[in-house]
């Protein structure tokens, strides 16, 4: 009977299986959608469930990696909830604020902060007292001591500092100046919004877009090594202080004449004319592919908001544009975050770990609800390429522009930059990006100081203070 019916009614069976498959995919879709979009949707301001959770739970705390409270909600005399930031301006951008919108960890981890996984017995007893449940606490990777050192080192300058662990991607410190007091946000909000030129609320580390200047020579070098894997060491160039193509003229910083330079020395001395010369030899298509691999012109693989670094290399480019791009000038812009990520990849044998700041969620009783393990993005470059770049960056410390990091209790490697901006010649942002110890990198630092001058003079000393603090205190 079975076989005959199948034969007789294969149309009905076909329709039946069609609908079964349809519902199978529908169920799969619903399950997948609900499982992956929960947080994103609850953070949407049109979602009323957020208000419901806020009414039900007290917003959780944000803490440093060592448990210092960076943000907490307390009740004032009238029983009104206020959000306290004990370190005031210190963590303004990275921890952010939660009134008048949200920013920083307050925005990124909002879902956890407004949910409560408090033990049932605690909830039951709070129910009896008609009190709110405590929201879950967010533990970050931030280190208060390093943040303080970085903050003081930047001082009154505007700029940004990012300190990360290359082997994990943990963000240890993130300073952006000018800063603000997150507790005062409701009071100063009008002023901040009305003043269109003010960029106080901008997190310069993740969203500031700067010309990379000479730090870009790391990338130009990488491309040159890729195109000349066996012969790059034979490179030589005679620097006369300037290189002219048509109407465009590339000069070395302060017009220095470097004379005859090889590949290593061009990098260590940051010789602009030599790099313009290298740039002219590069294959534009291959260069453009390398830049894509290095995450230019795309959203970065991070869980927080970040800006998109822009660069334009195409087959139709003129020699003048190519010379500008090779030394990190022209229309290129980069976030300190991306430069730090590339530096970390070099320090970590070419493998990029995704930078992250939220490390663990715990409930009010201290039990872990969720941990965020380090996760790899993938290889930005081959291990051999990373090793060559590492050696180049070591030379910058040993005999180049970052010699202030030479002869210390630890070894360091890095690249300086003095990125010219605006139309006035000679005004430049001071850059440094690098890591220490040079052989087994543990910590990676990226610094930009707006309008300060040469990277070697201004940014490198700050890097030294941060490295000093890191190694004195032991591994944080």
Q: Interface residues with another protein (CB under 8 A)?
A: 1-5, 8-9, 11-13, 15-16, 19-20, 22-23, 26-27, 29-31, 33-35, 37-38, 41-42, 44, 46-49, 52, 120, 123-124, 127
**285 or 299, CB closer to another protein?**
299
Residue 339 phi/psi, 5-degree rounding, is -60, -40
Nearest-approach distance from CB 97 to another protein, in angstroms: 24
Nearest-approach distance from CB 385 to another protein, in angstroms: 41
**80 or 129, CB closer to another protein?**
129
Nearest-approach distance from CB 474 to another protein, in angstroms: 41
Cα(447)–Cα(146) distance, integer angstroms: 14
Q: How far is CA 388 from the centre of its chain?
A: 24
Task: Provide the 3-class DSSP secondary structure of residue 150.
Answer: helix
Residue 225, token pair as written in the block: 């090594």
Nearest-approach distance from CB 107 to another protein, in angstroms: 18
Residue 294, token pair as written in the block: 């290095």
Residue 217, token pair as written in the block: 């020579």
Nearest-approach distance from CB 22 to another protein, in angstroms: 6
**228 or 305, CB closer to another protein?**
305
**188 or 369, CB closer to another protein?**
369
Compute the radius of gyration of the chain from its Cα atoms: 27
> What b/e readout covers 305-331, taking b as 16+ CB neighbours within 10 angstroms?
ebbebebebeeebeebbbbbbbbbbbe
**49 or 285, CB closer to another protein?**
49
**44 or 298, CB closer to another protein?**
44
Task: Kindly write down the DSSP assignment for every residue of 305-345, as one continuous string.
Answer: -----B----TT--HHHHHHHHTT-TT-BB-HHHHHHHHHH
In a 10 Å sphere around its CB, with 0-12 CB exposed, 13-18 middle and 19+ buried, how is residue 122 labelled? middle
Nearest-approach distance from CB 39 to another protein, in angstroms: 9
Of the candidates 457, 434, 421, which has an alpha carbon nearest to the alpha carbon of residue 212? 421
Residue 242, token pair as written in the block: 């300037």
Nearest-approach distance from CB 44 to another protein, in angstroms: 7
Nearest-approach distance from CB 86 to another protein, in angstroms: 32
**38 or 285, CB closer to another protein?**
38
Cα(289)–Cα(10) distance, integer angstroms: 53
Nearest-approach distance from CB 112 to another protein, in angstroms: 14
Residue 213, token pair as written in the block: 């200047």
**121 or 423, CB closer to another protein?**
121
Which strands form 159-164's sheet, in the order they lie side by side?
A: 171-177, 159-164, 443-449, 428-436, 413-420
Nearest-approach distance from CB 121 to another protein, in angstroms: 9
Q: How far is CA 198 from the centre of its chain?
A: 22
Cα(119)–Cα(140) distance, integer angstroms: 22
């Amino acid at each position: 009977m079975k076989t005959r019916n199948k034969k007789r009614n294969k149309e009905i069976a076909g329709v039946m299986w069609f609908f079964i498959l349809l519902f199978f995919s529908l169920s799969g879709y619903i399950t997948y959608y609900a499982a992956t979009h929960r947080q994103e949707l609850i953070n949407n301001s049109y979602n009323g469930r957020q208000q419901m959770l806020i009414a039900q739970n007290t917003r959780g705390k944000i803490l440093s990696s060592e448990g210092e409270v960076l943000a907490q909600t307390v009740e004032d005399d009238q029983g009104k909830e206020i959000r306290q930031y004990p370190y005031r301006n210190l963590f303004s951008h990275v921890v952010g604020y939660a009134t008048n919108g949200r920013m920083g960890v307050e925005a990124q981890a909002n879902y956890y902060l407004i949910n409560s996984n408090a033990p049932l017995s605690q909830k039951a007893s709070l129910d009896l007292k008609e009190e709110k449940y405590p929201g879950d606490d967010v533990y970050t990777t931030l280190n208060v001591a390093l943040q303080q050192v970085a903050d003081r080192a930047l001082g009154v300058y505007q700029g940004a500092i990012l300190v990360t662990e290359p082997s994990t991607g943990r963000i240890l410190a993130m300073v952006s100046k000018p800063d603000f007091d997150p507790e005062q946000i409701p009071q100063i909000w009008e002023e901040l919004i009305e003043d269109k030129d003010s960029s106080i609320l901008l997190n310069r580390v993740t969203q500031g877009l700067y010309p990379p200047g000479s730090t870009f020579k790391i990338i130009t070098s990488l491309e040159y090594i890729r195109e000349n894997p066996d012969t790059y060491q034979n490179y030589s160039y005679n620097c006369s202080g300037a290189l002219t193509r048509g109407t465009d003229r590339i000069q070395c910083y302060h017009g220095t004449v470097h004379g005859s330079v090889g590949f290593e020395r061009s990098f260590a001395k940051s010789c602009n004319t030599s790099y313009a010369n290298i740039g002219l030899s590069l294959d534009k298509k291959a260069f453009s592919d390398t830049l894509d691999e290095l995450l230019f012109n795309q959203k970065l693989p991070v869980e927080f908001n970040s800006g998109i670094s822009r660069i334009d290399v195409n087959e139709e480019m003129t020699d003048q544009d190519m010379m500008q791009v090779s030394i990190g000038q022209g229309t290129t812009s980069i976030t300190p975050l991306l430069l730090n990520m590339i530096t970390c990849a070099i320090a970590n044998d070419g493998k990029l770990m995704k930078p992250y700041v939220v490390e663990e969620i715990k409930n009010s009783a201290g039990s872990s609800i969720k941990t965020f393990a380090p996760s790899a993005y993938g290889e930005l470059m081959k291990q051999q390429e990373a090793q060559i770049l590492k050696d180049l960056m070591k030379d910058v410390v040993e005999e180049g522009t970052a010699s202030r990091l030479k002869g210390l209790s630890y070894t360091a490697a890095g690249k300086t930059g003095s990125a010219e901006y605006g139309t006035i010649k000679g005004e430049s942002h001071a850059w440094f990006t690098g890591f220490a110890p040079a052989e087994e990198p543990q910590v990676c630092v990226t610094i930009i100081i707006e309008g300060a001058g040469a990277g070697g003079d201004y940014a490198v000393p700050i890097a030294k203070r941060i490295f000093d603090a890191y190694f004195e205190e032991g591994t944080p």
